Amino acid sequence: MLHIKSAKHISDFKLWLSFDDGSSGEVDLKNSLIGPVFEPLKDISLFSKVSVDPELETVVWPNGADLYSSRLGFRS
């Protein structure tokens, strides 16, 4: 599994991600924010506060939502 090294909010529900193998790319999460923990992320002001947990190497948000690279559709 790829590990996420950095995440940057681009626009709307799009992120630019960089991975531990040197690859990077854009992911659109517009249709992936399903479930109670992801519902608040439909507010762009919260969604844009994305960061990477340095220990777990996952995308995280201040409300406790997180996504691993495998959930984002990336594979090693």
Q: Domain limits of the chain?
A: 4-72
Q: Is the pLDDT of residue 12 over 90?
A: yes
Confidence of residue 68 (pLDDT cuts 50, 70, 90): confident
Helices (H), the chain: 44-47
Q: Is the pLDDT of residue 76 over 50?
A: no
- Written as one letter, the residue type at 43 is D
State the pLDDT at residue 37. Answer: 94
Looking at residues 53-74, what average pLDDT do you find?
86
> Per the CATH hierarchy, to which homologous superfamily does domain 4-72 belong?
NE0471-like N-terminal domain (3.30.2020.10)
Contact 13, 28 (CB under 8 A): yes
What residues does 52 pair with on adjacent strands?
59
Contact 72, 26 (CB under 8 A): no
